Every structure is written in structure tokens, then in C-alpha cells.
């Protein structure tokens, strides 16, 4: 197989798993342990949750001084 790399600009905010499941997915989280992570919104509007370690390996915040470079 060949190797590929892709890039996308997403929006995200810190949010633990139980908060995401209860507020975004309207799921019952009674007696469920939670993990730190991020609520992620993709360019097509899809919203998901990512564990903190996975998210922080894949993404870095775009500083204000770099935002002009991507528009």
C-alpha cells in the first residue's frame, strides 16, 4: 500500500465523553465513566467526539497570526 497524508481544518472544544453523549447525542450516561476529549465539528457539519490523546496527536490549534494564511 502507498502512504498518504491529508489535512483538514476543523473546529473543536474540550469536552468530556459523557457531556458529549448527554448533550449532543441525547444519550443516558448514568453510571458511565467518562474520558477527557474534544467535541469536533468537521467542515461538512458532522459533529463527533475524540479522546484527548488521539485528538492532540492529530491536531494543533491555529494561532491568530496563522489564520490569515489559510483564507
CA-to-CA separations, 55 to 28, 30, 35, 71, in angstroms, rounded:
24, 25, 13, 23
* Beta carbons within 8 Å of 41's beta carbon, 6+ residues apart: 10, 11, 12, 47
pTM: 0.85
What confidence tier does 71 reach under pLDDT thresholds 50, 70, 90? low
What does the radius of gyration of the chain's CA atoms come to, in whole angstroms? 15
* C-alpha cell at position 7: 489535512
Give residue-wise pLDDT tens across range 32-62: 999 999 999 999 999 999 999 999 999 999 9
Q: How far is CA 14 from the centre of its chain?
A: 8
Amino acid at each position: 500500500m502507498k502512504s498518504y497524508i491529508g489535512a483538514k481544518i476543523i473546529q473543536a472544544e474540550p469536552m468530556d465523553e459523557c457531556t458529549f453523549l448527554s448533550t449532543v447525542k441525547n444519550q443516558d450516561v448514568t453510571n458511565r465513566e467518562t474520558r477527557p476529549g474534544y467535541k469536533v465539528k468537521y467542515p461538512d457539519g458532522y459533529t463527533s467526539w475524540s479522546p484527548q490523546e488521539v485528538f492532540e496527536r492529530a491536531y494543533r490549534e491555529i494561532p491568530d497570526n496563522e489564520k490569515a494564511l489559510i483564507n
